[in-house]
Amino acid sequence: MIPLSAYLSVSLFLFLTGLVGIIIRQSPVVMFMCIEMMLNAVNLSFVSFARYAPWVASGDITQTASQWMTGEITVLFVMAVAAAEVAVGLGMIMSIYKNEPDVNVDALSNLKG
């Protein structure tokens, strides 16, 4: 059986790769892709915690049948929110690119008062 920590290591690696990508890339589209990758990494750890339940072994929480589903349902909602977020975010990025074709995120300061 594949241990839980193996899945969590993959998830951690993908999350940190996305984090580094957001910091070092300048193109807003690529930064957005990195955000999606971080969301995916967290989803992976949600699903692996849903399948393996290490907190049950300690006996603190009694687990009912519906509680096993919590992680998976959360992942479904994260996917729905990500779909809405991508639609709005890409619309915003498109209108930014319409105004100035050569976008550098560090130089965007239109909202500054």
**Interacting residues with other proteins between 4 and 63 (CB under 8 A):** 4-10, 12-14, 16-21, 23-27, 29-30, 32-34, 36-37, 40, 43-44, 47-48, 50-54, 56-57
The single-letter DSSP state of residue 46 is H
Which of residues 59, 60, 66, 113 is near other proteins by CB under 8 A? 66
Residue 14 phi/psi, 5-degree rounding, is -65, -40
Provide, rounded to whole angstroms, the least separation between the CB of residue 4 and other proteins: 6
Which of residues 59, 60, 62, 88 is near other proteins by CB under 8 A? 88
Identify which of 106, 112, 108 has the alpha carbon closest to the alpha carbon of residue 24: 106
Neighbouring CB atoms inside 10 A of 34's CB total: 19
Task: Count residues near other proteins (CB under 8 A).
Answer: 72
Provide, rounded to whole angstroms, the least separation between the CB of residue 112 and other proteins: 19
Nearer to other proteins, 83 or 112 (CB): 83
* Distant-in-sequence, close-in-space partners of 76: CB < 8 Å, separation ≥ 6: none
Burial of 23 (0-12, 13-18, 19+ CB in 10 A): exposed
Which of residues 59, 60, 62, 99 is near other proteins by CB under 8 A? 99
